[in-house]
Each structure stands twice: as C-alpha cells, then as structure tokens.
Amino acid sequence: MKVLLVYPQNPDTFWSFKHVLRFVSKRSTFPPLGLLTVAAMLPRDWELKLVDLNVERLKDADLRWADYVMLSAMIIHKNSAHEVITRCNELNKPVIAGGPLFTTGHEEFPNVQHFVLGEAEDIMQELVADMLAGTARRYYKAANRPNVTCVPVPRWDLVNFKHYVTMAVQFSRGCPFDCEFCDIIIMNGRVPRTKTPAQLIAELETLRLQGWRDMVFIVDDNFIGDKKRTKVLLREMIAWRDSPKSLWVLKPRWLRACRNVTSSRTKVEIWSSRSRRCSARVWKLWAGLLLGLIMTSRTSSNASLNSSNVRASSRPWSACCRPCPKPNFISASCGKVGWSPPPPETTPKQC
Ligand code: B12
Ligand code: SF4
C-alpha cells in the first residue's frame, strides 16, 4: 500500500514565523507531529511519503503515486486543506482526514471520503484492515481516549530535518482546565494522560540517533497538568542528559540565535521557582510549554474568571517566577486572552 501524508500550508500568522524563517535558513518551524505519529502506526511494509506544504510543493506525481492520501490539519489550515482535497478529488485519490480541523468541523468537507475523528491510536488497526480490504468507512471515532503509553515513536525518518527549526515531542495529552476558547478539552479531555518517562526519552534518543542536534519543542496541551509525573520525567531527563552517550551538541548558529533571543529583555527566560529543583539542563531542549497559564488582567470581570484563571492569577508573576541561572528550557509562555461574556465596561480597556 502506498500512502501519501500531506500537511497543509500555514497561513501567514504569528505562529508560522514566516518572516523570520529566512534568517535561520529554514522552511518551517515545526514538523507535523500528528501525521508522523499516525505514520508510525501504519504497517512497516507500506510505502509512505510525507509532503509538508510548508517545506515543499505537492506534485501531481505524488498524488498519482498514492493509493490513499492522509491529511492532517488545524482550523487555520482550512483553505489549504480544501485545495489539497480538490486536487485529490480531481485525480480520484481517496482522502483520509484527521486532526483538529476535521475533528471539530468535518461537516464542512463533503468531498472527503474518510474521517478519523479524535485521537487515532485505538482506531488505526481497524482502519488499516479496512484499507486493505477496500471497505474503509466514512467515519472512525474511538469510544474511549487511548492509553498514551502505547503511542509509538513518531516516524522521524519521513522528515528532512534540515528544513525545520525544531523537532517536537509530546509527553501528555489533556488539560484539567476548561477555558472557553480552547478545543483541547473536546479533543483530548480533562484528565491529563502521560507517556512514561522512558517513552519520551526513547523519542529524544531516536531524534539524537537520527542526527538531530537542535531544539525540541514539547507540544503538550498542559505540560504541568500532572505535576507529579512531570517532575518524574524531568528527573529522568536529567539522568539521560548526564549519560555520556546522549551529549546534545550545540550548533554554533543556534547558540548565536538563541543568545539573541535570550538577551532580549522582552523575552524573559523563566523557570518556575518550584520546578527549579528539577532543572533539567538538557542542551537546547526548548520546552515550548503551552503552560496554560492564563494571566487574567485586573480589568476582567468575575464572570470571565474560570477556576484556572482564578488559581493562576492568585499570585503575581513576579512571585511565581524568577530568572533561571542556567537556562536549558526556554519556557515560551503562551498568554491567551479569552472572556465570556465580555464585560461591557472593561472591553475598551482590554482591547
Ligand atoms: C503544538 C501545537 C502548536 C504548535 C505547533 C503546531 C504544529 N505545526 O505542529 C504551535 C505553537 C505553532 C501552534 C500554533 C497554533 N495553534 Co496549536 N496546538 C498545538 C498542540 C498543543 C499540540 C499539537 C500536536 O502536535 N499534538 C500531538 C499530535 C500527536 O496530536 P494530533 O496532531 O492531534 O494528532 C493525533 C490525532 O489528532 C490524530 N490525527 C492527526 N492528524 C491525523 C491525520 C490522519 C490521516 C489520521 C488518521 C489521524 C490524525 O492522530 C494523532 C494521534 O492520535 C495542539 C493541541 C492538541 N492537543 O492537539 C494545539 C492546537 C492544534 N492548536 C490550535 C490553534 C488554534 C493554533 C493557532 C491557530 C493558535 C493561534 N491563534 O495562533 C496556531 C496556528 C499555527 C500556524 N501554523 O499558523 C488548536 C486547533 C483548533 C482546531 N480545531 O483546529 C489546538 C487544538 C489547541 C486549542 N487551543 O484548541 N500550535
Ligand atoms: S489551560 Fe490551556 S490547554 Fe488548558 S483548557 Fe485552558 S487554554 Fe486549553
């Protein structure tokens, strides 16, 4: 079986980093981790090819080659996904679509033959059998959330490392909070499920063995959703970091680039005072922690403060964070603003 895995083109948003990528001679920031994870669940003797539209063009020859096209996307990719689907339809290639865009909005894609809604781990075996038998259904959705300790190491061999700024790993799925603007609860639930530390270290080790020596972005929904397990992981990562074989070598270019970033006073490298004790000094491990640290401004009304916001805002930033003397994680804190209902008297201030 020949499967073409396609990741749509990022529009020009802040997170596409389109305008800064040329400064570091890269084509894209992140590889499509969802597709690489799905690829690892397909039979080893199938022929796979990944086309990430952020690093290369999708050729008709690629589409003609494939028996199936597997497409992953976020809402932000809607236009590009429609274009890919149209091209597949024109060449009569069946599309299997999954990921956040289709999980939350598959109704908008009548031209897609098959959908995998939500997490794929518990579905893949059945999907593969149906693909082989030519009896694939329109919808696949697992009854329960999968046990993430069974998630395989992503197929890093399908990406060309040189085009990307950072690789990605995932330790946990799910978030205990419930911010009104966030799809994570729908997709991954409110109970954080974590991989084992050994599993994550196997992923890092695979990246190292395949030659990656640069940043790794931890893509968790909420890396500290289960703090106890996160601390166990960090301790094991320290041990892995300290083992001689795992020396994570810095590339001079990135040293420079990083120093520029870290010397900027607007980009503060912080390390939460509590987790500092387990400061994993993993070279160049960029923990882009989507911490879910929702900083509510004092202008918010109580109605917009859900429990996570109240808890997070009970201590000021300055009390929670202090500069890390030897930063190895860069906490790229992602501040999100959302309020419902918008309090009329404060809206002008918030804007
Ligand atoms: C890491 C991450 C990012 C990173 C990198 C994204 C990337 N290109 O890899 C960054 C920080 C750049 C980012 C940015 C944004 N993100 Co984001 N991001 C995430 C996060 C936290 C993890 C994604 C991930 O790698 N997961 C790990 C993999 C293994 O999981 P997965 O992709 O879901 O794949 C599984 C299943 O979905 C399924 N699957 C996926 N694809 C396919 C395909 C097939 C064929 C099959 C069978 C199965 C399948 O199988 C996989 C295994 O179970 C998710 C939350 C989440 N949990 O998904 C949000 C999330 C995807 N992001 C979201 C959003 C909104 C954004 C932004 C638009 C935010 C903004 N306002 O700017 C930007 C847009 C980026 C852009 N390019 O312009 C939303 C998407 C909502 C939606 N319904 O589409 C999410 C769900 C978070 C949320 N708050 O709701 N993001
Ligand atoms: S804390 Fe973050 S991940 Fe969790 S529900 Fe809120 S925005 Fe989503």
Q: What digits encode the pLDDT tens for the residues 225-278?
A: 999 999 999 899 888 877 766 555 433 333 222 222 233 332 323 333 333 333
Residue 78 φ/ψ, nearest 5 degrees: -50, -50
Handedness of CA 304, 219, 331, 192 (dihedral sign): positive
User: Which amino acid residue places its CA nearest to atom 45 of ligand 1?
Assistant: 70
Cβ–Cβ < 8 Å for 38, 70: yes
For residue 43, is pLDDT > 70? yes
Q: What is the pLDDT of residue 262?
A: 31
First to last CA, the chain: 52
- Lining ligand 2 with CB less than 6 A are 175, 177-179, 182, 184-185, 221-222, 292, 308, 336
C-alpha 31 to ligand 1 mean position (Å): 11
For residue 136, is pLDDT > 60? yes
From the CA of 221, give the closest atom in ligand 2.
Answer: 3
Of the listed ligands, the closest to the CA of 31 is 1
DSSP 151: P
User: The pTM is what?
Assistant: 0.84
CA-angle at 50, arms to 45 and 52, nearest 5°: 170
CATH of domain 2-24+31-141: 3.40.50.280
C-alpha 296 to ligand 2 mean position (Å): 13
User: Which amino acid residue places its CA nearest to atom 23 of ligand 1?
Assistant: 219
- Give me the mean pLDDT over the 123-128 stretch: 98
3-state DSSP assignment of residue 97: strand
- For the chain, give every residue range classified as CATH 3.40.50.280: 2-24+31-141
Give pLDDT tens digits for 295-313. Answer: 333 334 444 445 555 555 5
Q: Which of 147-151, 218-222, 246-250, 326-330 is least confident?
A: 246-250
CB atoms near residue 123 (< 10 Å): 20
How many percent of the chain have pLDDT more than 70? 69
Contact partners, residue 264, CB within 8 Å, separation at least 6:
none
Query: The tokens 């004092």 sit on which residue?
Result: 298
Q: Which of 69-83, 95-109, 293-307 is least confident?
A: 293-307
In 3D, which of 72, 54, 77, 52 has the Cα closest to residue 62? 52
In 3D, which of 175, 122, 117 has the Cα closest to residue 141? 117
